[in-house]
Protein backbone atom coordinates (compact mmCIF):
# COMPACT_ATOMS: atom_id res chain seq x y z
CA UNK A 1 0.00 0.00 0.00
CA UNK A 2 1.52 3.35 -0.99
CA UNK A 3 2.12 5.74 1.84
CA UNK A 4 3.14 8.87 0.00
CA UNK A 5 0.81 11.83 -0.29
CA UNK A 6 -2.69 10.91 -1.34
CA UNK A 7 -2.22 13.37 -4.17
CA UNK A 8 1.20 12.92 -5.74
CA UNK A 9 0.53 15.59 -8.37
CA UNK A 10 3.21 17.92 -6.99
CA UNK A 11 5.79 15.12 -6.87
CA UNK A 12 5.00 14.08 -10.44
CA UNK A 13 5.34 17.69 -11.61
CA UNK A 14 8.74 17.86 -9.92
CA UNK A 15 9.86 14.67 -11.66
CA UNK A 16 8.70 15.99 -15.02
CA UNK A 17 10.47 19.31 -14.46
CA UNK A 18 13.65 17.43 -13.50
CA UNK A 19 13.32 15.27 -16.60
CA UNK A 20 13.10 18.43 -18.71
CA UNK A 21 16.18 19.85 -17.03
CA UNK A 22 18.15 16.67 -17.73
CA UNK A 23 17.02 16.70 -21.35
CA UNK A 24 18.27 20.27 -21.50
CA UNK A 25 21.68 19.17 -20.27
CA UNK A 26 21.75 16.42 -22.88
CA UNK A 27 20.85 18.94 -25.58
CA UNK A 28 23.58 21.32 -24.39
CA UNK A 29 26.17 18.54 -24.51
CA UNK A 30 25.01 17.44 -27.96
CA UNK A 31 25.23 21.01 -29.26
CA UNK A 32 28.65 21.61 -27.69
CA UNK A 33 27.53 24.38 -25.32
CA UNK A 34 29.98 26.15 -23.03
CA UNK A 35 31.05 23.92 -20.13
CA UNK A 36 30.22 26.62 -17.56
CA UNK A 37 26.60 26.75 -18.74
CA UNK A 38 26.38 22.94 -18.72
CA UNK A 39 27.76 22.81 -15.19
CA UNK A 40 25.24 25.41 -14.04
CA UNK A 41 22.42 23.30 -15.42
CA UNK A 42 23.82 20.13 -13.86
CA UNK A 43 23.94 21.93 -10.50
CA UNK A 44 20.29 22.95 -10.95
CA UNK A 45 19.41 19.32 -11.68
CA UNK A 46 21.24 18.17 -8.57
CA UNK A 47 19.36 20.74 -6.48
CA UNK A 48 16.03 19.63 -7.92
CA UNK A 49 16.84 15.97 -7.30
CA UNK A 50 17.96 16.72 -3.74
CA UNK A 51 14.70 18.57 -3.12
CA UNK A 52 12.65 15.67 -4.44
CA UNK A 53 14.69 13.19 -2.40
CA UNK A 54 14.26 15.28 0.75
CA UNK A 55 10.50 15.41 0.30
CA UNK A 56 10.23 11.67 -0.29
CA UNK A 57 12.34 10.88 2.79
CA UNK A 58 10.23 13.26 4.90
CA UNK A 59 7.04 11.53 3.72
CA UNK A 60 8.56 8.16 4.58
CA UNK A 61 9.60 9.27 8.07
CA UNK A 62 6.23 10.92 8.69
CA UNK A 63 4.37 7.76 7.77
CA UNK A 64 6.55 4.98 9.19
CA UNK A 65 7.99 6.59 12.29
CA UNK A 66 6.09 9.64 13.46
CA UNK A 67 2.65 8.48 12.35
CA UNK A 68 3.08 4.95 13.67
CA UNK A 69 4.54 5.73 17.07
CA UNK A 70 3.04 7.15 20.24
CA UNK A 71 6.52 7.45 21.70
CA UNK A 72 7.70 11.03 22.20
CA UNK A 73 11.30 9.81 22.00
CA UNK A 74 10.75 8.25 18.56
CA UNK A 75 8.90 11.32 17.34
CA UNK A 76 11.62 13.69 18.56
CA UNK A 77 14.38 11.52 17.11
CA UNK A 78 12.49 11.40 13.81
CA UNK A 79 12.30 15.19 13.71
CA UNK A 80 16.04 15.38 14.40
CA UNK A 81 16.72 13.01 11.50
CA UNK A 82 14.53 15.17 9.26
CA UNK A 83 16.52 18.26 10.27
CA UNK A 84 19.79 16.49 9.49
CA UNK A 85 18.44 15.43 6.09
CA UNK A 86 17.35 19.02 5.41
CA UNK A 87 20.82 20.36 6.14
CA UNK A 88 22.52 17.65 4.09
CA UNK A 89 20.25 17.92 1.04
CA UNK A 90 20.21 21.71 0.71
pLDDT in tens, 31-63: 999 999 999 999 999 999 999 999 999 988 988
Which secondary-structure segment (H or E) carries 89?
Answer: none
9-88 to CATH, choices 1.10.3720.10, 1.20.58.1000, 3.50.50.60, 3.60.15.10: 1.20.58.1000
Which secondary-structure segment (H or E) carries 76?
Answer: helix 72-88
Domain boundaries, the chain: 9-88
Mean pLDDT along residues 61-89? 89
Residue 8 above 70 pLDDT?
yes
Amino acid sequence: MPHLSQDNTKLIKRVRRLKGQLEGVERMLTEGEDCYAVLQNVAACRGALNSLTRELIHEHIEHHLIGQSNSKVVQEASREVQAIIDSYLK
